[in-house]
Chains A and B, each alone.
Chain A
């Protein structure tokens, strides 16, 4: 079974530029998460989708970050314009969602490392 795919693995941009990250979850996983991991910190949830609907985006800086999950499969996270403090690893994860069977176990991709200069 293929794992969670993310691209690009690494991206370096200047501040005020834009960047987009792509994630393809494990086939059949209804829930998709984007986490931001700043160096030395734990992952912080940015947005959570169930199928193609947003269930939690309370910590997403909506003035600059946006995310979509068209057709309930793959997802794109965009940052525009980027700030220095956005330098982080952006982790995508997915989990199956069946009634009474979602424990919150997450399957992670390898992450996309963003450096903003």
Chain B
């Protein structure tokens, strides 16, 4: 069975500081991994995805994530936080176990950016 663990339901950083949001996964087969961002009163939108190509993945708004199979991790980073990055971030794992593509989300990490 697949699962996602996001450490830290709330993270606060100062504007201009490094953003690090942690995600660990478990999957019985090679997974695809995603980060989604959700702004208030909106649906989720894709930030970036790992689909078995390069292990370092770059996404929108300056975010990137690195797939580390040995650590079963897919942490999200951004070198310098901007006020507009304040949102909730969800890590998701997708694998094809059982004949169809199943997608499971973590509980989310709410990012606060302090001016």
The reply to whether chain A is a binding partner of chain B is yes
Q: B-contacting residues of A (Cβ < 8 Å)?
A: 4, 31, 33, 35, 40-45, 48, 50, 55-56, 91, 93, 95, 97, 102-111, 113
Q: Are B101's CB and A110's CB within 8 A?
A: no
Q: A43-B90, A50-B100, A103-B32 are in contact. Are A108 and B43 (CB under 8 A)?
A: yes
B67 proximal to A (CB < 8 A): no
Count A-B pairs with CB separation below 8 Å.
Answer: 73
Q: Is the interface of B mostly helix, strand, loop or mixed?
A: strand
Q: What is the size, in residues, of chain B's interface with A at 8 Å between Cβ atoms?
A: 28
Q: A103-B32, A103-B51, A111-B43 are in contact. Are A41 and B107 (CB under 8 A)?
A: yes
Q: Are A103's CB and B49's CB within 8 A?
A: yes
Minimum CB–CB distance from A18 to chain B (whole Å) comes to 24
B101 / chain A contacts, CB cutoff of 8 Å: 31, 95, 97, 102-104
A102–B103 CA distance with the chains assembled, in angstroms: 11
A110–B101 CA distance with the chains assembled, in angstroms: 22
Q: Are B43's CB and A110's CB within 8 A?
A: yes
A102–B49 CA distance with the chains assembled, in angstroms: 13
Q: Are A41's CB and B108's CB within 8 A?
A: yes
